[in-house]
Structure 1
């Protein structure tokens, strides 16, 4: 029996839940009715007991009666009746108290808690649905905005493409380009440069070593200058002089200051916080190491955080790369008098930027909507399971209340045992499971069928999502016949079945009730439209991976067995005719029906059925398991276009799966053969339409032409001749063609079929290519029945295409009879069907020469140019 979790789903989520909560609120009212009955019965028993207690005192007030007759029999009878009145009053008051203690008080508290639980669930789900609907509306608006931006960009590109163009395409002049190096320090750090520091000269390599040692041993710090801000990578003049005296053999402070001044002149240091650029031995003067020193030495430069680094040049030449952080710099950097964040942006760049921003917003909103939908479905699934338990508890509570109610009366008053027996009978008739089944059978709104709102790329790309995307589009994006998500899941399960203990655990993988939140967690890891590693599955248990495949099939826009063939399959199982009552005939009809599906659907269905039939065979599954597996997978394989109360009770998808489990090899081997031979037939048809080369052998041309004319005249007799064809020759420029219309319904093959292949009405359809005789020229049978190929190009009959020479004067009936004569002589004994003028007809045991009344040959010989 299905539960709440699989019974109250609709496309908008609110309709199904509205039906459920209306029934649950009805249960709340039923609880009040039961409580009202118990409370009023207790009050009635209390009033009745009080009235009975008033009888004895009222009788005792009458003086001079039975009080004077102590031993009379009449006195004893009166006392007995009086005592019964007193005892009756006590008993009825006890009944009233028992009803209050056992029924009214506990059941009233339980009813209030039950009503609160129902109302809380309803409020929470309503809020979630409102949030989901609001996000869906936001997605629609962002999608419309994104598409409008894309159209504006396309219009701008078209305008730029055709605007301001010279009518004459003139070659573009070769304008020499002057390339300016962005690295201003590149020339400075040349290998040939020589640096004069103090009394010594250093080449670039030696200077690099010296600078590296300096930057690693001299103390670097940040120096804060009022108003200007904070300078980074600075060192005090005294620290630099101390280093020069220790490591560069500076004998005096003045010589060290001269070395420091050379470092300033070479562009390695600069004075900060003061006017000028003089080096001095002072602990209060700070010098900043320029980027040139860091670039030449290779020591990483300390830079401020992103967004807070600005250039504060000390002079007009090379101060653009020195970092300084401060309030003044921030104020100047953020100063924008035009209030335009993109000051140098052209209109075209602005449109493209707005398109990218709209695309990002739309994509983000779709992901947020998908997360909201998943959370909503998880909440609905949890609440539905909880509400089912609440409703079952309510029905059991009413059953217990009636039992206690009847016991409170029956244990005290055996006199009213008949009424108690009736109440017990009523109590026995209550069946909580049956009432729950009745609710589900009469008020179900639909199975769990999630409706995914996918990201629709303006350029029809599907590389952003995996779930909810059309099956063929997903397979085409994966460049596979079967989508990679399906093959990855099935392969992973095949490899991990041996890890489970026992066949029962392996079979139970597909029947485990996996929480929807757990399946959604795995779905979120692989729902990016990209290839993924199977190691993602290792984070979850095997039943969750199997549940992911079922969720993927449920979220497809159309079921694996398309809803277009649902009516055909329903008619097949609802009204099995004598031709489809047997398994063999029904398999043939299934083959023809499934051949109408797309190749991607057929290949995916074949892969799934391979997996399930192998699992059933290897684990020796019994009939009960096969039935449970088919029931669990039926909504994933085939669903109607619109779910109604009638389709919910139909078992056609279950029966289809049982037939596919039983006849899997027969069905899919034939479908594969149809697909392969359909492709071969298409290639053969295309080759047959190529213009045949004109024969160069003219030795027997006249003999063959006379023989052909003689055979035509024998069949034609005295028939009226047709006007001469204006065509100059076979396959010439003026050749006329004719296209036949389809006479009857023909099966849709899984492969590509030639548009010139036609099927005779009433002929049994073949799953392979149409077996027929295709000639590129008229065949004349020889003496031994061997056909002789005519080399003359005067006349050609191929399929539905007829070309006559200018000398041919034949009527339509003459042509048909002449062709029948040729077909009769050149019979194919092993071929189960023959082709007559491009149409496949079954072999009839009646002679071909016997006329058939009003038989439509499907051929009309008329000269008119081809449409294409």
Structure 2
């Protein structure tokens, strides 16, 4: 894939790459002015020279006598010939100046102005979009912080509820929780961004806007029959006029929408009419709410209460009784729109609302990011054409400049020939390629901001989610989106006409807007039907798969192994290493990846190797498809001027295509051997421990723990209730697993019901007790058995019997005992977790 503006000037913050590119484009605008300056000065110099040559004749005529007195002298004829040539040269130089202005300066200056305007308009548009994206990203971070804080408060409340409702038996020992005091606090001013119209304003900006509105909009009082007099009121026409004048509202309908948003956000309320609609009307009155005055700090005008009279008069209409009754109807001392809510319900509701705001802000940010990327692709392609046209225009200007001179003065042919040579040396495509290769900032790798659920759920998004998390949520080794898209393409390859059309779908230049449209349809975090894909062209489906791989947080072949891959293909080692050695090293390197990455890479490589084989693709196509897919498969951790020219990902893909069976077949065989080896290790018997350093301390600790229990003597064996709770052992790590000091008889019947809850290492949790064998005859376990029991219990679950404890704990000694029931052929019974290798074909 050839380098271009649309694939070479990307950066993580978008503004960095655009700054480099538009810096070079503005440099081109200045270069245009330099060319114009040369042409203007040359035209001025030619005109000045021509005028000076024209003054020579008049200057010689002022000398009396001389050649005027001789009529037929040859010297006079030569003199007059020189004068005539100078007059002709004067006209010629004036003609050159006129030609330069008409053929070069005038048309090129108009073109330069249009080119500078195109560059500036593109820069302003992309800069505004980038700023809007950055503001929304900041809002997302703020909403995310609010959401996480609310979730933490909900968790804290749940923990407090657990402590508040404890077992009545422990009520005396637990401290009493005081009921929280009910206090009436002042209403808090919201500290969250507010959407008004098409813009999102932070609280500081809202404060400035409201302050300016209160200072410039006419505010008064309005009498409403029956209801009374309202203070701090403005009509809809005045508010609309202000919005159009100061808030850049392009139309009355847009101004009304801004006013409606102010009503919805609690800044205004409609009085004297039913509803809460904003309209551009002088008869519609809106009262500024108390929230506005609290936010701006401007004192609020309140109506003075007057004494009521018993006499019915005309002034009784002005009584504030209506306003007071309306105020009492909405009386809410807690300033809470949900007066019957409990604190826990309020917290949970606020957590849900903050979650919804966070989700909505992430969706809006994702939409803005996609729009920004689409606009960048369009503008960068347009700017590339403009820059190429500029270079061609300079080439034409030089040609026109030489023509303007050569058409008038043939004697300057040598100068003209040199200028023609200079014109031939201008190579627009070469200069454009030099600009890209010298100043490119990075390839197109979109940075996705995903919704991060507090409880680690990934069911909201598909794109931009970690590959392993996506596969784990799908319960597949390969994410469902990858298998769905590849299966859809496999099913539709036969519908295309010819192998060329099948191969071309992966190299087609699909508009980013089309890819984003399909991405929005399937970016739900859930499986999607094939019917959605039927509405799009097949190249669009293929481009969405590449877009999914590009939007992964880490490349499919992790960037952590980029340096290893670089070493494999470096010039110093590749020359000495054979192909078999290189493939072996590649296989071992890919073996370090996570299972989901290996399985997905295997599925994609299988798809392309089959496509190459079935369509009989040549070397040229294989090279092009590898170069096109290289950024999707392997990317460095940090893009730099050095990594932008490296081709290690391309070479890795070529090896994967050429040696797919050898690499992935060896990976599967290595996985099977590793799991078999792990299973053999789990069944290997452990050697006896000879460490007796802590035995006496452990026994004393155990005796103190038993003596410290404040309960009656232990009942007879077998009568212990199944709900008995074993106290937690105390002491350091060496005493975590208590040592059995006395035989416990009769506990066999309870072990089947609670062996998984026993302390690891105790006799009742051992496989012998579980299988019905009696403990050793003496009171204490042997040194060898106790130490083995201690060591084997470390970091192992007691849910599965251990092969080491079965062999060391006396299974050979009690195999023939039948006093507690025959063990049967336990040596052939599978013990522990059975590991098996599942194929990576889903």
Q: TM-score, normalised by structure 2?
A: 0.63
What SS does the aligned partner of 1:466 have? coil
Q: Which residue of 1 aligns with 2:156?
A: 155
Alpha-carbon distance in structure 2 between the residues aligned to 1:88 and 1:415: 11
Shift of 1:419: 1.9
Distance change >3 Å, CA 578–CA 57, structure 1 → 2: closer
1:67-106 to structure 2, matched below 5 A, reads 67-106=68-107
Q: Which residue of 2 aligns with 1:684?
A: 680
Shift of 1:411: 1.9
Q: Which residue of 2 aligns with 1:732?
A: 785
Alpha-carbon distance in structure 2 between the residues aligned to 1:31 and 1:628: 37
Structure 2: 5+ residue stretches without partners: 172-225, 227-273, 277-321, 689-779, 793-803, 814-842
1:247-266 to structure 2, matched below 5 A, reads none
Q: Which residue of 2 aligns with 1:560?
A: 556
Q: TM-score, normalised by structure 1?
A: 0.62
Distance change >3 Å, CA 509–CA 333, structure 1 → 2: farther
Distance change >3 Å, CA 430–CA 689, structure 1 → 2: farther
Cα RMSD (Å): 2.9
Partners of 2:53 and 2:89 within 8 A in 1: yes
Aligned residues: 559
1:1-20 to structure 2, matched below 5 A, reads 1-20=2-21
Q: Greater Rg, structure 1 or structure 2?
A: 1
Alpha-carbon distance in structure 2 between the residues aligned to 1:357 and 1:374: 26
Shift of 1:468: 0.2
Question: 1:5-42: per-residue Cα shift (whole Å, max 9, x none)?
Answer: 01110000011100111111111111111100000100
Q: Which residue of 2 aligns with 1:475?
A: 471
Q: Which residue of 1 aligns with 2:816?
A: none
Alpha-carbon distance in structure 1 between the residues aligned to 2:35 and 2:397: 8
Shift of 1:357: 0.4
Shift of 1:450: 0.5
Alpha-carbon distance in structure 2 between the residues aligned to 1:543 and 1:563: 28
Alpha-carbon distance in structure 1 between the residues aligned to 2:98 and 2:575: 73
Q: Which has the higher contact order (CA 8 A, sep 6+)?
A: 2
Partners of 1:572 and 1:580 within 8 A in 2: no
1:648-797 to structure 2, matched below 5 A, reads 648-689=644-685, 732-735=785-788
Shift of 1:690: 7.7
Alpha-carbon distance in structure 1 between the residues aligned to 2:470 and 2:807: 46
Match status 1:615 vs 2:611: yes
Distance change >3 Å, CA 548–CA 690, structure 1 → 2: farther
Shift of 1:687: 2.1
Alpha-carbon distance in structure 1 between the residues aligned to 2:685 and 2:109: 86
Shift of 1:538: 1.0
Shift of 1:135: 0.4
Q: Which residue of 2 aligns with 1:748?
A: none
Partners of 2:685 and 2:807 within 8 A in 1: no
Q: Which residue of 2 aligns with 1:168?
A: 169
Structure 1: 5+ residue stretches without partners: 171-226, 228-304, 308-326, 693-726, 740-773, 779-790, 794-868
Alpha-carbon distance in structure 2 between the residues aligned to 1:164 and 1:542: 61
Distance change >3 Å, CA 508–CA 143, structure 1 → 2: same
Match status 1:569 vs 2:565: yes
Distance change >3 Å, CA 635–CA 149, structure 1 → 2: same
Shift of 1:534: 1.0
Larger mean CA deviation between 681-690 and 660-669 belongs to 681-690
Partners of 1:580 and 1:589 within 8 A in 2: no
Partners of 1:579 and 1:585 within 8 A in 2: no
Alpha-carbon distance in structure 2 between the residues aligned to 1:25 and 1:351: 54
Distance change >3 Å, CA 730–CA 425, structure 1 → 2: farther
Q: Which residue of 2 aligns with 1:544?
A: 540
1:189-208 to structure 2, matched below 5 A, reads none
1:575-614 to structure 2, matched below 5 A, reads 575-577=571-573, 581-614=577-610
Alpha-carbon distance in structure 1 between the residues aligned to 2:445 and 2:339: 51
* 2:399 aligns with one of 403, 426, 430: 403
Shift of 1:409: 0.9
Alpha-carbon distance in structure 1 between the residues aligned to 2:807 and 2:662: 39
Alpha-carbon distance in structure 1 between the residues aligned to 2:327 and 2:371: 47
Distance change >3 Å, CA 683–CA 306, structure 1 → 2: farther
Q: Which residue of 2 aligns with 1:176?
A: none
What SS does the aligned partner of 1:340 have? coil
Question: 1:342-363: per-residue Cα shift (whole Å, max 9, x none)?
Answer: 1111011000000000000001
What SS does the aligned partner of 1:510 have? coil
Question: 1:470-511: per-residue Cα shift (whole Å, max 9, x none)?
Answer: 000000101111001000110011111111111111111100
Q: Which residue of 1 aligns with 2:53?
A: 52
